[in-house]
Amino acid sequence: MAGGDDLKLLGAWPSPFVTRVKLALALKGLSYEDVEEDLYKKSELLLKSNPVHKKIPVLIHNGAPVCESMIIVQYIDEVFAGTGPSLLPADPYERAVARFWVPYVDDKLVAPWRQWLRGKTEEEKSEGKKQAFAAVEVLEGALRECSKGGGFFGGDSVGLVDVALGGVLSWMKVTEVLSGDKIFDAAKTPLLAAWVERFSGLDAAMAALPDVGRLLEFAKAREAAAAAGSLSDSRD
Amino acid sequence: MAGEDELKLLGTWASPWVSRVKLALHLKGLSYEYVEQDLDNKSDLLLTSNPVHKKVPVLIHNGKPICESVVILEYIDEAYGTTGPSLLPTDPYERAIARFWVDYIDQKLVIPWKVAFTADGEEEKTEGIKQMLAVVQTLEGALKECSKGKPFFGGDSVGYVDIALGGLLAFLQGTEELCGTKPFDIANTPLLLAWVERFTALDAAKVALPDVTKLVEFAKTKRAQMALSIKK
């Protein structure tokens, strides 16, 4: 790491988007100050650093804020290009393929999954679940194509798509416990099931991913509070 | 440009996402074959090139498809790094800022615009307009910051954010007729108004953007068709 690099991450430990940034920082072997935000009482620093969205994660690098999880991950990869592994390949076409799958994860898996987990009606939840499962099947095919026999979407090493999907892994496990459904089923999506094991075993994953037990308690408490009507709206 | 370099763009004339790609190709001085798609009767080429979304634009470069407008823009910039001007800044922080604003445009501008365009009731429409104008106001601030007094979001020359917003220009120019409000005005968004003048004067814009009148007619027809099919 270059001398004089000050990295501060404004985040919240349950957030999968924050987890993505932590993964990238861990993969690159970068030290940073981990600032836990109270999303019901956002700090001046957060509001000043992300005035447009007022959301976490925000990475503040030598005082300059970068917002949006995958923009931050690409920024880390570019600024610290000489440090640790590259998260994007050198070839423009392969980069385009990686950049294609990242928003797919967000729009087609994460968004429906959230609806499944936190939807207001049974109908909404069931539709979210259906769409999330459909996306998992597509991602199995994506992994087959992108990995080219290596263990990751990035091929032999972890790439952007691995980080995008890896960030939500603890939440996927929590959802499996709460719903009783297997999201990455070895029988239906063998490559992804193996990928989950492989990714979870990485040092970076062990450092960055929130503890599943702790997250499960958090999810249950939030569900209970929502049911009791004591939360006026969700906080992200 | 290397010999044997083949670029094919699958698109539809009205699509602002396709316009973005056309803008980038023109700005880079790249020749390409444009193939107009019929989205009610999708071609085999489109379906095999974009099996996941089955949407336009798709850029096919020497037989390999690239999908999603912003992905295509970055691809063009990287694959043709030494051809024509750079579309993205070289500095990683400025790149992050540019990507932030393009993401903002895609996440925050389009949805309220669509609401304002298709809303049935006055209340819904008013809300859509209000949200759209708030987003436009934020973009005025973004232009001020990014341009630092220069003509474009990209500074002296057209950049990634300019192209991302520029692709939507024909729709923005048709907004008063389609949504009942002007998106830009001299009191609230003087910088953006000036930017629109400047951008539409570019050669690339004249080639890449659809005719506003034709677009407005087309959008109105589509809206009427959708309303009819919902009523059924």
* Complex confidence, ipTM: 0.95
Residue A6, chain B, CB below 8 Å: the answer is no
> In chain B, what residues touch A96 (CB-CB under 8 Å)?
66, 71-72, 74-75
Confidence of residue B65 (pLDDT cuts 50, 70, 90): very high
pLDDT tens digits for range B193-226: 999 999 999 999 999 999 999 999 999 999 999 8
Report pLDDT for A34: 98
Contact partners, residue A217, CB within 8 Å, separation at least 6: none
Asked if B93's CB is within 8 angstroms of A100's CB, the reply is no
Q: Which of B64, B74, B100 comes nearest A71 by C-beta?
A: B100
Q: Which residue of B has its CA nearest to A53?
A: B104
pLDDT tens digits for range A60-87: 999 999 999 999 999 999 999 999 999 9
Q: Which of B66, B96, B104 comes nearest A75 by C-beta?
A: B96
Q: Which of A64, A92, A138 comes nearest B79 by C-beta?
A: A92
> In chain B, what residues touch A143 (CB-CB under 8 Å)?
none
Q: Which of A61, A96, A103 comes nearest B75 by C-beta?
A: A96
Looking up tokens 């063998």 gives A190
Report pLDDT for A232: 53
- Of the two residues B214 and B229, the one the predictor is more confident about is B214
pLDDT tens digits for range B132-154: 999 999 999 999 999 999 999 99
Asked if A67's CB is within 8 angstroms of B99's CB, the reply is no
Q: What is the DSSP string of A211-225?
A: PHHHHHHHHHHHHHH
**Chosen from A80, A99, A160 to mutate, greatest number of chain B CBs within 10 A:** A99
Domain annotation for chain B: domains and CATH numbers: 7-79 (3.40.30.10), 92-220 (1.20.1050.10)
Instruction: Let me know the angle formed at the C-alpha of A74 by A69 and A80, rounded to the nearest 5 degrees.
Output: 120
Instruction: Tell me what percent of the residues of chain A surpass a pLDDT of 90.
Output: 92
Report pLDDT for A50: 98
Confidence of residue A228 (pLDDT cuts 50, 70, 90): confident
Size of interface A-B (CB pairs under 8 A): 57
The CA distance from B213 to the nearest CA of chain A, in Å, is: 33
Q: Which residue of A has its CA nearest to B78?
A: A92
Report pLDDT for B188: 97
> In chain B, what residues touch A54 (CB-CB under 8 Å)?
none
Confidence of residue A231 (pLDDT cuts 50, 70, 90): low
Asked if B61's CB is within 8 angstroms of A99's CB, the reply is no
Residue A96, chain B, CB below 8 Å: the answer is yes
Confidence of residue B232 (pLDDT cuts 50, 70, 90): low
Query: Strand, coil or helix: what is A41?
Result: coil
Report pLDDT for A28: 97
Q: Please, what's the b/e burial string for B14-52 (b: 16 or more CB within 10 A of its CB; e: otherwise)?
A: bbbbbbbbbbbbbbbebebeeeebeeeeeeeebeebbee
Q: Which residue of B has its CA nearest to A74?
A: B96
Q: Which residue of B has its CA nearest to A94?
A: B75
Report pLDDT for B2: 54
Looking at residues A223-231, what average pLDDT do you find? 79
Asked if A95's CB is within 8 angstroms of B104's CB, the reply is no
Scanning A129-158 for CB atoms below 8 A from B yields 138
Looking at residues A152-173, what average pLDDT do you find? 97
Report pLDDT for B229: 83
Asked if A52's CB is within 8 angstroms of B104's CB, the reply is yes
Report pLDDT for A229: 79
Confidence of residue A3 (pLDDT cuts 50, 70, 90): low
pLDDT > 60? residue A184: yes
Asked if A78's CB is within 8 angstroms of B92's CB, the reply is yes
Domain annotation for chain A: domains and CATH numbers: 7-80 (3.40.30.10), 92-214 (1.20.1050.10)
Instruction: Tell me what percent of the residues of chain A surpass a pLDDT of 70.
Output: 96
pLDDT tens digits for range A113-138: 999 999 999 999 999 999 999 999 99
Looking at residues B89-118, what average pLDDT do you find? 96
Report pLDDT for A227: 84
A145 class by beta-carbon count within 10 Å (0-12 exposed, 13-18 middle, 19+ buried): exposed
Beta carbons of A191 and A143 less than 8 angstroms apart: yes
Residue A99, chain B, CB below 8 Å: the answer is yes
Q: Which of A52, A99, A138 comes nearest B74 by C-beta?
A: A99
Report pLDDT for A217: 98
Report pLDDT for A1: 46
pLDDT > 70? residue B44: yes
pLDDT tens digits for range A32-45: 999 999 999 999 99
pLDDT > 60? residue A47: yes
Nearest Cα to B218, choosing from B10, B35, B12, B11? B12
Reading the block at residue A146, the tokens are: 């992108």
Asked if B138's CB is within 8 angstroms of A93's CB, the reply is no
Residue A90, chain B, CB below 8 Å: the answer is no
